[in-house]
Amino acid sequence: MSESPIHTDVLKCRTRAEGRVLEIELDHGRANEMGSVALADWERIAAEVQNTDVRAILTFSRRRSSRGTPLFIAGADVTERVGWSDGDVKAHVRRQRRVLATLRRAPVFHVAVVDGVALGWGTEFLICCDYRIATPAAQFGLPETALGILPGAGGTSELWSLIGVSQALRLGMTGEHIRADEALRIGLVQETVVDVEAGLLRALSLSEAVARRSPTAVAAFKRGVLACVGQPRLAREEQEARGYEHCVDSGDAAIGRANFKALLKGGDVTWGPRSVPD
C-alpha cells in the first residue's frame, strides 16, 4: 500500500496493486458529513483520476459515532451553511450535483462498501458508484422533503435510473429508511456481506480484476454503457461500434491478440496508457 497520487485534505487516500487501485476511507467531521472541504476533495479526485494509473476506486468507512453507530456518509453538512444566502446554497448544491456527475463518468470502476448510515447525500453518493456492497448495518434514505427541499445531488434526477421510478418516489416522498436487504431487493446495492471487512475483501477482489485489464477497454466500455442509457437501438449500436474501434485504434486490441494465451491463463500484460474515447 502506498500514498495516493492525488492530494486530499480530509479523505484518506492510498493505493494498492501498484497504484492501480485507489482506496478512499471516509473518516472526517462528526459523521462523515459532506461539507465544502470534503466536496473539494471529491472534485479533485474526479478531475485528476483520469491522469493517473488508477483503474479502480474503492470507497468505504470504518467510522463509528460516540455511541458506536456505524457511519458511511450521514448526509450533507448543513451546519456550515449558517449565514449563507439563498444564492450561496443554490450554487453549492449545483456544485455538488456537478461533482457527482463528473465522478460518475470517471474512466474507472468505482465500488463502495456501505457500513452504517448513508442518508441524504450518503444515498445520493451511491449514484456515482458502479457497484455497491452493503453490510447489515447499512441504512439508506432520503429525508430532504421533510426539510422543505428535495434531494438535489442526483436523488431526484438520477436515482430512479437505478431503482425505478416507483421506488425513487417512495424513498423521496416518504423519507422511509431501508436496510441492506431491502436495498438489495430494489437494486440500490448489488451485494450484501456479513461485515465491512468481508465487504472490503470482495471490493478489493473486484477492483484488482479490473486493474489487470486494458484501461482503455475498461474506460471505453463504461463510457459506452452509460452513453447508451435512454438511446434508441441504432444510436446504441453506433456507440458500441465507436468504442470498439477506439480500442483497436489505441493498440490495446493488438496487445490482447498477441498475449491471448497468457491472458486466458490469468497472466498480466503491459497495456498501453489509458485512452478515453470522445
Spell out the SS3 assignment of 62-80.
Answer: CCECCCCCEEEECCECHHH
Banded model confidence at residue 241, pLDDT cuts 50, 70, 90: very high
What is the pTM (predicted TM-score) of this model? 0.95
First to last CA, the chain: 33
CA angle 204, 207, 213 (to 5 degrees): 145
What amino acid occupies position 40? Answer: A
Mean pLDDT of the chain: 95
**Residue numbers annotated as active site:** 124, 144
Judge contact between 97 and 128, C-beta under 8 A: no
Element spanning 206, H or E: helix 196-211
DSSP conformational letter for 4: -
Banded model confidence at residue 66, pLDDT cuts 50, 70, 90: very high
Mean pLDDT of 233-240: 96
pLDDT of 276 higher than 80? yes
**Residue 93 Cα distances to 42, 99, 104, 116, 154, angstroms:** 14, 10, 17, 24, 10
pLDDT of 47 higher than 90? yes
- Amino acid 94: pLDDT: 96
Banded model confidence at residue 2, pLDDT cuts 50, 70, 90: confident
pLDDT of 239 higher than 90? yes
- Which three cell numbers mark 172? 423521496
Pick the closest to residue 73 from 120, 12, 130, 142 (CA basis).
Answer: 120
Using CB atoms within 10 Å of the CB of residue 216, give its burial: 0 to 12 exposed, 13 to 18 middle, 19+ buried.
buried
